[in-house]
């Protein structure tokens, strides 16, 4: 099926905006060897609020169902469990410039793979359903996060993470569920099915066309100088000699005349 847009998710307004994936050398080698992108299951992330919603959503549920309806107090936790167990994510930083903060957090002496939204989505060759868009940063204590689509809470994060300027690809895996999930109501209807207890693999490899994906590779500004040439040689060995490899000049001293 490859990449398929989702009407509830917002892609970058400029499809040619630059995206960065900060990673270590081992992960680049894995990408080259397997011809795939690494996706991580949502509940393996450090942020415990991944896929969650805040108190305003709980209040909304109470008001929507009313005091005389069936008890719906379990629904927010049930939906959160399904999101974090059934969805895997590939995270990208959206910026026309490299980020000192992202280097420090994710690739201190590593690399940054560069692409664009257009190239990223066109590169997906995997037969599984992949979708995605921009992450929105909101105040979980004040804002109601839309839940009409199972994916929407996964595309919302707390304001403390806004420096990440994240774009995400999503890979759903519902195991024995008989078909695709269109809305939260589908989850409630099928709440007794065995697929509720299914958990996808902690990591998933999604097939990509590396020629389409890779616009360039930047080497960390604090990595040893020899790494730049080595990465170029490795790319050439994997049939990618035209992918530009440059060492970041982020920490080069200015030339003052």
22: nearest Cα among 95, 123, 119: 95
| pLDDT score at 195 | 55
Q: What pLDDT is stored for residue 160 in this prediction? A: 97
DSSP 49: T
Low-confidence ranges of the chain (pLDDT < 70): 1, 61-73, 176-197, 257
Residue 64 Cα distances to 72, 127, 185, angstroms? 10, 38, 13
Domain residue spans of the chain: 18-247
Query: Model confidence over 56-90: pLDDT tens digits?
Result: 887 776 666 666 555 666 777 888 888 999 999 99
Task: State how far the Cα of 142 lies from the Cα of 43, in Å rounded to an integer.
Answer: 24
The string over 185-203, giving b where at least 16 C-beta atoms fall within 10 Å of a residue's C-beta and e elsewhere, is eebeebeeeeebeeebeee
The whole-number pLDDT of residue 67 equals: 62
Looking at residue 68, what is its pLDDT? 57
pLDDT of residue 184: 43
- In this prediction, residue 193 carries a pLDDT of 52
Return the residue matching tokens 């960065």.
Answer: 20
* pLDDT, position 147: 87
Q: What is the DSSP-derived secondary structure letter of residue 124?
A: B
Model pLDDT, residue 48? 94
188: tokens are: 């409630």
Distance CA 154, CA 133 (A): 11
C-beta of residue 77 within 8 angstroms of C-beta of residue 187: no
Q: What pLDDT is stored for residue 180 in this prediction?
A: 47
């Amino acid at each position: 099926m490859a990449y398929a847009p989702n009407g509830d998710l917002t892609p970058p307004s400029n499809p040619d905006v630059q995206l960065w994936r900060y990673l270590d050398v081992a992960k680049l080698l894995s990408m080259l060897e397997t011809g795939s992108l690494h996706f991580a299951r949502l509940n393996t992330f450090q942020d415990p609020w991944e896929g969650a919603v805040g108190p305003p959503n709980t209040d909304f549920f109470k008001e929507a169902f009313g005091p005389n309806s069936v008890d719906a107090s379990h629904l927010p936790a049930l939906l959160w469990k399904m999101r974090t167990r059934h969805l895997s994510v590939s995270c990208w930083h959206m910026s026309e410039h490299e980020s000192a903060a992202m280097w420090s957090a994710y690739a201190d002496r590593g690399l940054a793979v560069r692409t664009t939204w257009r190239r990223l989505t066109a590169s997906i060759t995997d037969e599984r359903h992949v979708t995605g868009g921009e992450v929105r940063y909101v105040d979980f204590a004040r804002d109601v996060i839309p839940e009409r689509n199972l994916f929407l809470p996964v595309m919302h994060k707390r304001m403390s993470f806004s420096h990440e300027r994240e774009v995400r690809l999503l890979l759903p895996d519902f195991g024995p569920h008989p078909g695709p999930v269109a809305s939260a109501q589908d989850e409630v209807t099928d709440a007794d099915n065995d697929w509720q207890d299914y958990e996808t693999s902690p990591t998933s490899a999604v097939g990509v066309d590396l020629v389409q994906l890779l616009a360039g590779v930047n080497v960390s500004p604090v990595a040893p100088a020899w790494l730049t040439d080595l990465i170029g040689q490795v790319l050439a060995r994997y049939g990618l000699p035209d992918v530009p490899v440059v060492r970041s000049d982020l920490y080069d001293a200015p030339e003052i005349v």
